[in-house]
Amino acid sequence: MSSASTQFISASEGIAVTDRSQAMHRDIDRIIISQKQLQDRVTALAKEIASDYARSEEGLTLVTVLSGSVIFLADLIRQLPMKMRIDLVTVSSYEGKSTQSVEPKLHSDQPLMVRGRDVLIVDDILDTGKTLRLVRAWVKREKPKSVRTVVLLRKPAKAPSEVVVDYIGFDIEDLFVVGYGLDYNSLYRNLPYVAVLKPELYED
């Protein structure tokens, strides 16, 4: 299990953006986690997960929370040398330009096929924990063989201790971050790093 090696990233260690030639980068206040740090950590997480499930005959079922997790999922699974199925679910919690979480709702086009399977829930970031609590309860109702959770980021200042997370990429400060899949008002998902926007761009 990974928590012991989880790295805390402080915003004050942030890197200034030097390449402002593209409009997207101009909106960034500072980079919190660089592309290289992301790559290295995802590789380490994949190794740990692969080793923990090495004996799983059936392989894994990844229940992935859209849309913020797509880049993390894509990078992670290409380093997992095991059979797997991927289920995609949508949980709406932040709407439009809001940076405040509201009561999340879960949507899925089809019933989850997780009965008797080893399930790994994949999410981008653990903030208040409402999303993961909801998805976990939903998965558990379908009687899987096991359930674990992986998140790329966690805000320990906010995340309640009873929300179980088995694998964590980085602990960060309680800041609204974008990039590597995470959006603000549907933008910035394609940034190759995790960053905070200039304060004047946030509307609440």
| Catalytic residue set | 127
Among 104, 112, 165, 195, binds ligand 5GP (CB under 6 A): 104
Helices 70-77 and 35-52, axial angle in degrees (round to 10): 60
Chain centroid offset of residue 27 CA: 22
Whole-number minimum distance, CB 133 to ligand 5GP, in Å?
8
Angle (nearest 5°) at CA 142 between 137 and 145: 95
When binding is defined by CB under 5 A, the residue of 68, 129, 169, 179 that contacts Mg ion is: 68
Overall size of the chain counted in residues:
204
Q: Taking a C-beta distance cutoff of 8 angstroms, is the pair 119, 147 a contact? A: yes
C-alpha 196/C-alpha 9 separation (Å) is 13
Per-residue contact track with ligand 5GP, 131 to 160, x per CB under 6 A?
x-----------------------------
Contact residue for ligand 5GP among 89, 182, 191, 197 (CB under 6 A): 182
Q: Is 94 in the site for ligand 5GP (CB under 6 A)?
A: yes
Q: Which residues bind ligand 5GP (CB under 6 A)?
A: 65, 68, 93-94, 101, 104, 123-131, 176-178, 182-184
